[in-house]
Structure 1
Amino acid sequence: MELKVLYFGMIAEATQCAEEIISLESGSSVDQLENLIKGKYKKLQRLPFKIAIDKEIIANNVVLHPNSEVALLPPFSGG
């Protein structure tokens, strides 16, 4: 399956792109996606971020579905 992954803030700076299409096997989990992305972008191994699926921050053991919108979000600052 192919997923559109969006990058924001310092995550976009580390990947040098705002979005990309990532291919994963059907039934893959968020953990597997995160490991793939961290393997591709070594700088992300040192950066904190959350993963949102369809605009909702989720746990890492959630199974991904085709056509889901995935976003890597940097830490939020309040105000």
Structure 2
Amino acid sequence: MELKVLYFGMIAEITNCQEEMIFLEQGSNVDQLENLLKDKYRKLQDLSFKIAIDKEIKSNIVLLNTKNEIALLPPFSGG
């Protein structure tokens, strides 16, 4: 299946793009997507980030589908 993934902040700098299409097998979950992206972009392995599915942080076992809005969110600084 083809998934559109959005990147923000330092993650967009690491990937050198703000969005891209990623291909995963049907029935893949958030954890499998994260592993694929960490393999593709080695600098993500050392970065703490969240993956939002349809604007919500979800469990890594949630199954993905082509209609999901997927975004990688960098660490937030608070204040």
TM beyond 0.5: yes
1:62-73 paired onto structure 2 within 5 Å: 62-73=62-73
| Alpha-carbon offset, residue 78 of structure 1 | 2.2
Could you tell me which runs of 5 or more consecutive residues in structure 2 were left unpaired when the two chains were aligned: none
Percent identical residues: 73
* Distance in 1 of aligned mates of 2:47 and 2:58: 18
Q: TM-score, normalised by structure 2?
A: 0.95
Q: Please, what is the CA RMSD of the aligned residues?
A: 0.8
* Cα displacement string for residues 13-66 of structure 1 (whole angstroms, at most 9, x for unaligned residues): 111111000011111010000000000000100111000001111111111112
Figure out how many residues of one structure are paired with residues of the other and give that number.
79
* Distance in 2 of aligned mates of 1:44 and 1:66: 23
